[in-house]
Amino acid sequence: MRRSLLGPDHEAFRESVRAFVDRTLKPHHDRFIEQRHIDREVWLEAGRQGLLGLEVPEEHGGGGAGDYRFNAVLGEELSKVSAAMSSCLGIHYDVVAPYLVDLCTEEQKRRWLPRFCSGELVTAIGMTEPSGGSDLAALRSTAVRRDGDWVLNGSKTFITNGFSADLVVVAARTGPEKKARGITLFAVETGMAGFERGRKLDKVGQPESDTAELFFTDVRVPDGNVIGEVDQGFVHMMQRLPQERLGSSIANLAHAGQILEETIAYVKERKAFGQAIGSFQHNKFLLAELVTKIDVTQAFVDRCTEAHTRGELTATDAAKAKYWSAEVQNDVLDACVQLHGGYGYMTEYRVARAWMDARVTKIWAGSNEIMKELIGRDLEL
């Protein structure tokens, strides 16, 4: 079924993204996996191609697209390379960008956004803590006023781009008695005394994504690095999490869809008992189910993307898209591994790497259990 979400401008943009992917990512992807990070040159080239500042106004070096569908196209094409490519770059242009564009002062925008768009300033967001997981209201990191600055103490974990980021948007508790209403966002920059990175985490999948622990020991953060309003950080995060979850949904589907396409080609060529394994009725029926799951889910995610482009996406619908797309992605990739047989368990095959890469999508951006809780609350249960 032809998708109605995108127009000619979006498809032209897709071609430019594919050219970037073919030239800058695919030839070096194995090396990125081996070294466990993406080269800084990738960021700089993405900046030169105008891919990092889609949501940033032109006066600050961005493209000022004003149309989330361009973000969606970029996320889809990066996900077809690997889940980690979409995750690393997506944290920057899709997750952090709204915080800087919507909440920063003009002085902050002039200071950070031109380099954000050029790829000279790589960003990350520090929400998750070792003891908190999806419970953002239970943050233990603190920031207190001292001699005109904020003094930040605490730690974060599972931070995508954490090892390489030049600026991290960090959530910390500034009003202990206010619970969720006492959280503030800070821009912590490389070189600030007391800001240290722990080990680069050894994950089950997505090795090319540098995921790290972050530690803050009496880090002095000036008022000029406060993002948004003091004590309103939780509200700021809740307002922007639907976009993060929609971006995850878009990436989940594109990632699974690409591997499914490659698996269909594989089962047409792979022979067993004198015939292509795709012609066996069980496999044929299984693939029919998988293709249908992808197509039906794509229709819902496209509707959510349209709604978000109009500024109408609800937190509940974003939760539905995130939860369901992650389930479909993992179901599809597990079946694709099975269809590849023993080869599907070998990491030299893309299907095996994709299977490992995808498992985290049911956990990050709010676990699927939390998504169901949000949906349930909307049902007034």
Q: For residues 111 and 88, give the distance between their C-alpha atoms in angstroms, rounded to a whole number.
A: 22
Who contacts 305 (Cβ-Cβ below 8 Å, separation ≥6)?
5, 68, 69, 72, 246, 250
Structure tokens at 165: 């980021």
Residue showing tokens 């050219």? 19
Quick one: which H or E segment has residue 123?
A: strand 123-126
- Would you name the residues annotated as active-site residues? 244
- Cα separation, 301 vs 69, in Å, equals 12
Report the DSSP beta bridge partners of residue 272.
275
Residue 334 backbone zone (phi > 0: left; psi -120 to 50: alpha; other: beta): alpha
| Nearest residue to 365 via CA among 247, 203, 199, 256 | 247
273: left (phi over 0), alpha (psi -120 to 50) or beta: left
Phi-psi region at 229: left, alpha or beta (left = phi > 0; alpha = psi -120 to 50): beta
The two tokens of residue 15 are: 């071609």
Question: In angstroms, what CA-CA distances link 147 with 162, 212, 216?
Answer: 29, 31, 18
Query: Which token pair is 120?
Result: 């000279």
Q: Which two tokens stand for residue 357?
A: 């890469």
